[in-house]
Amino acid sequence: MKIVEAKVVVTSPGRNFVTLKLTTDDGLTGLGDATLNGRELAVVSYLEDHVAPLLTGLDPHRIEDTWQYLYRGAYWRRGPVTMAAVAAVDTALWDIKAKAAGMPLYQLLGGASRDRIRAYGHANGATVPELMDSVRARLEEGYQAVRIQTGIPGLKAVYGVHAGVAHQQQRPLVEDWDTEAYLRHLPTVFEAVREEFGPELPLLHDAHHRLTPTQAARLGRDLEPYRPFWLEDCTPAENQEAFRQVRAATTTPLAVGEVFNSVHDYQTLITERLIDYVRSAVTHFGGITPLKKLFDFAALYQIRTATHGPEDISPVGLAAALHLDLAVHNFGIQEYSGHTTLTGEVFRHAYTFADGHLHPGEQPGLGVELDEALAARHPYEQAYLPVNRLQDGSLHDW
C-alpha cells in the first residue's frame, strides 16, 4: 500500500479546524487533526509546503518510521507548529492502519482496558449563582465531574467565563487579571459549590498558568478542605523545577501539560512525581505514537492521563484521544466540552457521550468522517485567543 494524496482541509463550522486527509492507492483514507488555535495557518503551510510532498509514495503502515522521519528528519525539533503537523500525519496513519485491519483503533493499542471513559465538563459563571446554574446544567446533561471557573469581583473578563476566541478581529481581545483578587475569591467559590452539591462531585479548576510557584502553593493549600479533583496549570511549566515548591506545600492533585509538545517537557515532572495527571492532546504532542509512550512512562510513576479536550481539538483529535483512553491502563479522566451541532455534521463521528462517559465506538479506524463539501461552505476565519493584562496594563500569562 502507498500514500497517493495528502490534502489539508481548513474549515470553520463555528471555529477553525485544520485536518489532514491521507489517501492510499487502494482507496483507504485517514484523518489527522492539526488545529493550533489562533495560529492555524502556520501548520497548514508546514503541512502543505514541507510535509505533504514527502508523504506520497510512502508505505502508510510504517507509522513509527514516518514519525521519526518527520521528527528527526526536520533537524528542527519540537515546537507547537511542528508537532501539530507531525501529529496529523501520525493520527491519519493510525486511522488507515486500523481501517486496513477492519478494527476500531483502540484494538490496535492493546484493546479496551475499561468499558467507558469518564469525562468532565465545563461549568462557568460570571457570578457564583450563575456558576451554580451552569453546574446544574452539566449534571442534567449527565456529567459526573465538573470543572468550575468563575468571574472575579472587580474584573471584567476572565479565562473560562468570557467567550474565548475573537473571530474576524484584527487583534486579540484583551482580558484583565488580578492575582490577589483571584486567590481571595476562589476558595469561597469552592466552599459555596461544595455546600450546594455535596462532598462527592469531582470538582476541577484551571488556573491557566497565572500564578507564581508561591501563589500556586498557597492556592493548593487553601483549596484542600474542598478536596478538588485537581488544580490545573497552576504555574507556567517551562520551569519544571518550580513544581517542587508547589508539590511540597500541598496535597491538592496537580495536572499539567496541554501546551507541551514533547516528553522532554515532562521529564522532571514525571520522574520526581511532581504532578498527578498529564494533560497533553494527541493534536499538539506529535500524535498517538508519542502520546502512548508518554502515558506508559507516566504509568511507571502512578501518574494518570487526562487528555486535553476543549472545543479547539477537532472531533478527529478527540476521537484519537478516546481510543487511547479506552486502551491505556492508567487513564484518569477525559476533558470533554463538546462541539457545535454543525461541527458534528462536518465531522461525523462514531464516538458517543452518555451518562457522563464517552466511548469511541466500533467503526474501523478512528470512526470520524469529514464531509468536505460541507467543510468548504465554512471557510477559515481569522481568529485569535485573548491576551491578558494586569491592572497596571502590563501583559500577563493568559
Binding site for ligand GCO (CB under 6 A): 37, 206, 208, 258, 308, 310, 312, 335, 385
| Cβ nearer to ligand GCO, comparing 69 with 398 | 398
| Cβ nearer to Mg ion, comparing 209 with 323 | 209
Cα dihedral 260, 266, 270, 275 in deg (nearest 10): -40
Name which of ligand GCO, Mg ion, none residue 97 binds, using a CB cut-off of 5 to 8 Å depending on partner kind.
none
E strand residue ranges, the chain: 3-11, 17-24, 29-33, 117-125, 146-150, 166-167, 174-177, 203-206, 230-232, 254-256, 277-278, 304-305, 334-335, 347-349, 352-354, 357-359, 368-370, 383-384, 387-390, 395-396
| Cβ nearer to ligand GCO, comparing 24 with 314 | 314
Query: Smallest gap, in angstroms, from Cβ of residue 271 to Mg ion?
Result: 23
Query: Smallest gap, in angstroms, from Cβ of residue 143 to Mg ion?
Result: 17
Name which of ligand GCO, Mg ion, none residue 276 binds, using a CB cut-off of 5 to 8 Å depending on partner kind.
none
Name which of Mg ion, ligand GCO, none residue 335 binds, using a CB cut-off of 5 to 8 Å depending on partner kind.
ligand GCO
Name which of ligand GCO, Mg ion, none residue 325 binds, using a CB cut-off of 5 to 8 Å depending on partner kind.
none
Name which of Mg ion, ligand GCO, none residue 310 binds, using a CB cut-off of 5 to 8 Å depending on partner kind.
ligand GCO
| Cβ nearer to ligand GCO, comparing 185 with 205 | 205
Query: Smallest gap, in angstroms, from Cβ of residue 310 to ligand GCO?
Result: 4
| Cβ nearer to Mg ion, comparing 146 with 350 | 146
Q: What angle do CA 385, 389, 393 make, to 5 degrees?
A: 140
Query: Smallest gap, in angstroms, from Cβ of residue 2 to ligand GCO?
Result: 35
Binding-site ranges for Mg ion (CB under 5 A): 206
The CB-based long-range contact list for 256-259 (8 Å cut-off, 24+ gap) reads: 256/232, 257/308, 258/233, 258/284, 258/308, 259/80, 259/209, 259/284
Tell me which DSSP letter residue 185 carries: H
Query: Smallest gap, in angstroms, from Cβ of residue 277 to ligand GCO?
Result: 11
Question: Which residues are the active-site residues?
Answer: 159, 208
